Homo-oligomer: A and B are copies of this chain.
Amino acid sequence: MNEPFLDTIDEQSPPLAEAAKPVASLHEGLLVALRDFIVEGNLADGARVPERALCERFNISRTPLREALKVLAAEGLIELLPNRGARVRQLSSEDIRELFDVMGGLEALAGRLACERISEEEFAEIEQVHHEMYRFYLRRDMHGYFHCNQAIHQLIVAAAGNATLASTYAGLAGRIRRVRYSANLAKDRDRWGEAMREHEAILDALRRRAGSELSDILFQHLRNKRKAAQASA
């Protein structure tokens, strides 16, 4: 469970040097810490990953660090160049387009599966967050709106009841999380109304358990989100 999706309005990541918390378990711990470190944008886009510096930062030797870097490369967060170390992966607009589409496909799937198995309780929660989001929309409270928006998408993925889906989704979300700020479509007021209407349709289809319809709507919703994001970039 990493991060729901784009569309957050939170402030930029914390300053580079932190209180150097001494990595808890070091098993999973280092990996998580390092991933956060990168995802949170502590390293510039395309910058080379300073092995030695990170060793000191996390108080470990190069061996476990390099193992973690390999994993992060497999996750697509960084890339390894033979004999010249790791670089923070720079996403082209094409990469972002691809990522949005795949996430759209996964959300479409989540919607479809959710329709098959969502409980009344789960639906009620989504409905509640939806109404809350609507109130934020009326009040033009972007921060609140996007918080709810995130929550809804996350709840739909969770309602699908498919851990493989959830972790695949989280992996992709992690990759674009770095660019979420630049992709902050929130500024686009016209799109906002449209997005709100789309969310109405999402809730409606989910209420009717119309899986294939919801699937379409969710995919298109992500498509539109991406278009707005890339247009404003």
Residue numbers of A with Cβ under 8 A of B are 25, 27, 63, 66-68, 70-71, 73-75, 80, 82, 95, 98-99, 101-102, 104-106, 108-109, 112-113, 162-165, 168, 172, 212, 215-216, 219
Contacts and interface: CB of A to CB of B under 8 A. Distances in A.
A165 B172 CA distance: 10
Given A27-B82, A67-B67, A95-B164, A101 B105 contact: no
A86 B131 CA distance: 47
Given A71-B73, A102-B168, A105-B109, 16 more contacts: A27-B82, A63-B63, A70-B71, A71-B74, A98-B163, A98-B164, A102-B162, A102-B164, A105-B108, A105-B165, A108-B108, A108-B109, A109-B219, A212-B215, A212-B216, A215-B215
Q: Looking at chain A's contact residues, is the secondary structure mostly helix, strand, loop, or mixed?
A: helix
Contacts of A113: 101
Contacts of A163: 98
A106 to B, nearest CB: 6
Nearest to A216: B212
A168 B175 CA distance: 13
